[in-house]
């Protein structure tokens, strides 16, 4: 049996024992490594971070060529690109409802006007991509205006087509917002006036419900138009905010000051020091420190020039804002007139209802008086219906005389009430 068993079983390898020992050591090492491993080590935090940043689609319109392209940019990249805080980008978030806002920053203008949500810089416009037709119209109109050759910058031409790039983009945004709001106001007027006229002729529950919905839409639209008007008026009243919006001029002053300050230290070093004289490594700053110093000096010089030039160069922006302020104020006047017409219609309806109510009260008063007169016949009938003998019953024409006398008394009493009502002016008779 032992010989048969050895013959049937497969031959044992010489390395089986060593392989089993190595396998046990590997399992022990894996268990120890798993114990030392962090809880979330296997998760892709980089991918989660990228997904959490929230990539959004933006339409970029170049200022030089007018070409447009769609790009996917996350919030933090956009903050670094335009030098904007996070709270300004939240104004453009379509997931939140913010009122209309126009903010002037150091390197950009943040615009949130109805469907137009964009960031305007001196070199480009970054428009939040949307399927709304007004967004596409904004891009097409901006490209059309950029295709117009700019006039002579020193010719004194104050046409809106020859404004700086940021003002052209802002003008198109204001025009799109004012056109959109004015169109909604016109649609509301077309729908409101026939409905109100129908309500005055026929007061019904259906017409009252339609007017209620119309008034709710009117209040919401008036609030939006009022916010745009207040925003433009606030910009017109603050010269500092208008001066902040001259991005092209600020960029040109910054570049001019930067390059002049870069060339100035090099020239002074070459003139003040001999070529053969040794230069101390401690006294000569590195190139990065020299660039930072020149940049800070350019910024300080730009800030000092900005306060002196702000009052001289805001006229064109003020004229631009004033033009669209007149447009949005006209739209607000339309909505105000429509609201007054609705209020007048409501007052007219209330007067009509009061008149009907007064007529019903007068009719009820007449019915009450007539009921009192008829009740007199009931009293007479009750008196003569008693079971006791009266000599009047023996007369042949007694019934007719009682009936005529009672009727005449009722008519006299009814006429007396009517005279009293007229005397007291309780009803027009």
202 inside domain:
no
| 102/402: higher pLDDT | 102
Exposed, middle or buried, 123 (CB in 10 Å: 0-12/13-18/19+)? middle
| Cα 319 off chain centre by | 25
Q: In this model, does residue 49 exceed pLDDT 50? A: no
* Contact (CB, 8 A) for 116 and 127: yes
61 inside domain:
no
336 pLDDT band, cuts 50/70/90, is: very high
pLDDT in tens, 7-21: 444 454 444 445 455
386 inside domain:
yes
Q: What is the rounded average pLDDT for all residues in the chain?
A: 77
157 inside domain:
no
329 inside domain:
no
**Tokens matching residue 196:** 């109100």
pTM, two decimals, is 0.67
Q: Order of strands across the sheet with 124-128?
A: 68-73, 56-62, 124-128, 116-120, 109-113, 101-104
377 inside domain:
yes
pLDDT at residue 333, rounded to an integer: 96
38 pLDDT band, cuts 50/70/90, is: very low
Q: In this model, does residue 161 exceed pLDDT 70? A: no
pLDDT at residue 292, rounded to an integer: 57
* Contact (CB, 8 A) for 243 and 283: no
Alpha-carbon distance 207 to 192, whole Å? 11
**Running DSSP on this structure, what letter comes out for residue 396?**
T
Alpha-carbon distance 59 to 383, whole Å? 100
* Contact (CB, 8 A) for 427 and 363: no
pLDDT at residue 398, rounded to an integer: 78
Q: What percent of the chain has pLDDT over 70?
A: 70
| 184/2: higher pLDDT | 184
Q: Where is average pLDDT lowest: 23-32, 39-48, 117-126, 255-264?
A: 39-48
H or E stretch covering 87? helix 86-90
| 24/410: higher pLDDT | 410
Q: In this model, does residue 52 exceed pLDDT 80? A: no
Q: Is the sign of the CA dihedral 159, 163, 168, 170 positive or negative?
A: negative
**Tokens matching residue 106:** 């150091």
Q: In this model, does residue 94 exceed pLDDT 50? A: yes
Q: In this model, does residue 99 exceed pLDDT 90? A: no
74 inside domain:
no
Q: What is the DSSP string of 225-284?
A: HHHHHHHHHHHHH-HHHHHHT-HHHHHHHHHHHHHHHHHHHHHHHHHHS-SSS---TTTS
pLDDT at residue 281, rounded to an integer: 40
Alpha-carbon distance 234 to 228, whole Å? 10
264 pLDDT band, cuts 50/70/90, is: low
Phi-psi region of 114 (alpha: psi -120 to 50; beta: other; left: phi over 0): left
**Running DSSP on this structure, what letter comes out for residue 12?**
P
What is the total count of domains within the chain?
Answer: 1
267 pLDDT band, cuts 50/70/90, is: very low
382 inside domain:
yes
Q: In this model, does residue 371 exceed pLDDT 70? A: yes
Alpha-carbon distance 157 to 260, whole Å? 30
* Contact (CB, 8 A) for 230 and 321: no
pLDDT in tens, 279-306: 434 444 455 555 555 555 555 555 545 4
| Cα 364 off chain centre by | 54
Q: In this model, does residue 407 exceed pLDDT 70? A: yes
* Contact (CB, 8 A) for 124 and 63: yes
Q: Which domain does 383 fall in, by range? A: 357-424
pLDDT at residue 46, rounded to an integer: 42
| 157/197: higher pLDDT | 197
pLDDT at residue 154, rounded to an integer: 43
Alpha-carbon distance 197 to 308, whole Å? 58
Mean pLDDT to the nearest integer, 56-61: 90
Q: In this model, does residue 278 exceed pLDDT 50? A: no
Q: Where is average pLDDT lowest: 17-26, 144-153, 241-250, 353-362?
A: 17-26
Task: Return the exposure string of 234-271: e unless at least 16 CB atoms fall within 10 Å of the residue's CB, then b.
Answer: ebbeeeebbbbbbbbbbbebbeebbeebbeeeeeeeee
What residues have CB less than 8 Å from 128, skipping those under 6 apart? Answer: 56, 57, 58, 59, 92, 94, 117, 118, 135
């Amino acid at each position: 049996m032992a010989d048969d068993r050895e013959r049937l079983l497969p031959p044992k390898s010489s390395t089986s024992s060593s392989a089993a020992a190595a396998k046990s050591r590997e399992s022990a090492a894996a268990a120890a490594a798993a114990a030392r491993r962090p809880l979330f080590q296997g998760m892709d935090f980089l991918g989660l971070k990228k997904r959490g940043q929230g990539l959004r689609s933006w339409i970029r319109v170049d200022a030089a060529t007018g070409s447009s392209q769609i790009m996917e940019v996350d919030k933090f990249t956009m903050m670094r690109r335009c030098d904007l805080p996070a709270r300004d980008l939240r104004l453009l978030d379509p997931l939140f409802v913010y009122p209309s806002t126009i903010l002037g920053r150091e390197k950009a203008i943040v615009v949130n006007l109805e469907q137009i949500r964009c960031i305007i810089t001196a070199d480009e416009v970054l428009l939040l991509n949307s399927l709304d037709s007004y967004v596409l119209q904004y891009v097409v109109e901006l490209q059309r205006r950029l295709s117009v050759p700019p006039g002579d910058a020193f010719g004194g031409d104050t046409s809106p087509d020859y404004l700086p790039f940021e003002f052209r983009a802002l003008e198109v945004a204001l025009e799109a917002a004012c056109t959109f709001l004015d169109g909604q106001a016109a649609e509301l007027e077309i729908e409101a006036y026939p409905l109100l006229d129908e309500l005055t002729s026929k007061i019904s529950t259906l017409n009252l419900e339609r007017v209620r919905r119309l008034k709710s839409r009117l209040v919401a639209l008036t609030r939006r138009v009022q916010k745009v008007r207040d925003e433009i008026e606030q910009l017109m009243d603050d010269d500092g905010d208008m001066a902040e919006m001259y991005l092209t001029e600020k960029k040109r002053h910054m570049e001019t000051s930067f390059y002049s300050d870069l060339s100035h230290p090099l020239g002074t070093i070459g003139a003040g020091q001999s070529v053969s004289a040794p230069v101390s490594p401690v006294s000569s700053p590195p190139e990065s420190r020299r660039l930072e110093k020149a940049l800070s000096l350019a910024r300080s010089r730009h800030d000092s020039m900005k306060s002196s030039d702000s009052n001289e160069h805001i006229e064109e922006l003020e004229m631009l804002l004033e033009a669209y302020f007149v447009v949005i104020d006209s739209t607000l006047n339309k909505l105000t007139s429509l609201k007054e017409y609705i209020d007048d219609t409501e007052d007219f309806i209330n007067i009509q209802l009061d008149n009907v109510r007064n007529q019903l009260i007068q009719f009820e008063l007449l019915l009450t008086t007539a009921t009192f007169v008829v009740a007199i016949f009931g009293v007479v009938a009750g008196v003569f219906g008693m079971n006791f003998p009266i000599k009047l019953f023996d007369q042949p024409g007694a019934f007719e005389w009682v009936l005529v006398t009672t009727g005449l008394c009722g008519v006299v009493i009814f006429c007396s009430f009517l005279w009293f009502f007229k005397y007291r002016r309780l009803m027009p008779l």
